Amino acid sequence: MPSKTARETASPNPMQRSRPGGYGHRRAFLQLSAALLLAALSCPARSAAKETAPLKIIAFGDSLVAGFGLSADAAFPAVLEKTLRAEGYAVSVVNAGVSGDTASGGQARLDWALGNGADGVILELGANDMLRGVDPDVTKAALDAILGKLKARNIKVLIAGMKAAPNLGQDYKTRFDAIYPALAKKYDAPLYPFFLEWVAGEPALKLGDGLHPNPAGVERIVKGILPAVRAFVDQFGAKAARGE
From 63, 101, 104, 119, active-site residue: 63
Residues 227 and 204 in one domain: yes
From 42, 144, 212, 234, active-site residue: 212
State the pLDDT at residue 26: 53
Classify residue 129: in a domain, yes or no: yes
Q: Can you give the pLDDT of all 244 residues of the chain as single tens digits?
A: 444 444 444 444 444 444 444 545 555 545 545 554 445 444 444 444 345 689 999 999 999 999 999 999 999 999 999 999 999 999 999 999 999 999 999 999 999 999 999 999 999 999 999 999 999 999 999 999 999 999 999 999 999 999 999 999 999 999 999 999 999 999 999 999 999 999 999 999 999 999 999 999 999 999 999 999 999 999 998 666 654 3
Classify residue 2: in a domain, yes or no: no
- Provide the residue range defining the domain that includes 36: 8-46
Beta strand pairing call for 91-97 and 55-61: parallel
Classify residue 190: in a domain, yes or no: yes
State the pLDDT at residue 53: 82
List the beta bridge partners of residue 123. Answer: 60, 159
Residues 127 and 169 in one domain: yes
State the pLDDT at residue 4: 47
CATH code of residue 162: 3.40.50.1110
Residues 59 and 42 in one domain: no
Residues 37 and 61 in one domain: no
Residues 67 and 170 in one domain: yes
User: Residue 103 contacts by C-beta under 8 Å, 6 or more apart in sequence?
Assistant: 125, 126, 129, 134, 138, 139, 142, 143, 146
Residues 42 and 131 in one domain: no
Classify residue 220: in a domain, yes or no: yes
Residues 134 and 223 in one domain: yes
Q: Does the annotation count 71 as an active-site position?
A: no
From 3, 42, 71, 209, active-site residue: 209
pTM for the model: 0.78
Phi/psi for 59 (5° steps) reads -90, 105
Phi/psi for 156 (5° steps) reads -70, 150
Residues 15 and 63 in one domain: no
Residues 130 and 31 in one domain: no
State the pLDDT at residue 48: 42
Q: Calculate the dihedral angle through the C-alpha atoms of 37, 39, 42, 44, rounding to the nearest 10 degrees.
A: -80
Q: Does the annotation count 171 as an active-site position?
A: no
**32: region left, alpha or beta (phi > 0 left; psi from -120 to 50 alpha):** alpha
Q: Cβ distance 119 to 56 under 8 Å?
A: yes
Q: Does the annotation count 177 as an active-site position?
A: no
Classify residue 1: in a domain, yes or no: no
Name the 3-class secondary structure at 43. coil
DSSP 195: T
Our count of domains for the chain comes to 2
Residues 31 and 62 in one domain: no
